[in-house]
Amino acid sequence: MAFLENLGKKVGEAAQAAAKKSGELVEITKLNVNIGSEEDKIQKLYNQIGKSIFEKYTTTGVADQGVKENCEAIKVHEQNVKALKEKIMEVKNIKSCINCGGEMDRAQIFCSKCGTRNDLSAASQPEQQQAATSACKACGAVLAEGAVFCTSCGAKVG
């Protein structure tokens, strides 16, 4: 009988120790999550500081020498990204509207979203090869589905 009582006492102590350890682990996990959250906030603030220094350099051209070198490197990387995006657009045979930035066929003269003329030589425009849904009332050109402006003459559709 004493053996069973001793065993029960030992099992109870082990359960209490396990519960205590489990509680500690939960608390440590919560604290680690909070630490991670605070570190993320610090990183975001570092990024904001860096961005504001870069923007100041971009507008004024003034920065400490070490910072200036990094700012110039950022400009080079931005130019590389711009060139790569342009290559993607070439492969997709599209361009960005000079006014609204919307994507449009390279052959289009007028943006179908805002109507801005994007090509100065109207004679260089080949026939549009888009799915026709209607014709422009002003010039008779085939209109792309959902077009707000004619891509041939720039007239507002509808």
pLDDT in tens, the chain (158 residues): 677 778 778 888 888 888 888 888 888 888 888 899 999 999 999 899 899 999 988 899 888 887 888 889 899 999 999 999 989 988 999 999 999 999 999 989 999 999 999 875 544 444 443 333 588 888 888 888 888 888 888 888 87
- Read off the DSSP letter of residue 1: -
pTM equals 0.47
Q: Is residue 14 included in any domain, yes or no?
A: no
Q: Is residue 130 included in any domain, yes or no?
A: yes
Q: Is residue 1 included in any domain, yes or no?
A: no
User: Looking at residue 76, what is its pLDDT?
Assistant: 92
- Read off the DSSP letter of residue 153: T
In degrees rounded to 5, what are phi and psi of residue 133?
-125, -25
Q: Tell me the C-alpha distance between 132 and 29, whole Å.
A: 60
User: Looking at residue 143, what is its pLDDT?
Assistant: 84
User: Looking at residue 121, what is its pLDDT?
Assistant: 53
How many domains are contained in the chain? 2
Q: Is residue 113 included in any domain, yes or no?
A: yes
- Answer yes or no: are the C-beta atoms of 133 and 142 closer than 8 Å: no
User: Looking at residue 117, what is its pLDDT?
Assistant: 92
Residues 156 and 114 in one domain: yes
Q: Is residue 32 included in any domain, yes or no?
A: no
Q: Is residue 75 included in any domain, yes or no?
A: yes
Residues 114 and 155 in one domain: yes
Q: Is residue 78 included in any domain, yes or no?
A: yes
Q: Is residue 71 included in any domain, yes or no?
A: yes
User: Looking at residue 88, what is its pLDDT?
Assistant: 92
Residue 148 belongs to domain spanning:
109-158
User: Looking at residue 79, what is its pLDDT?
Assistant: 93
Q: Tell me the C-alpha distance between 158 and 133, whole Å.
A: 12
Residues 155 and 126 in one domain: yes
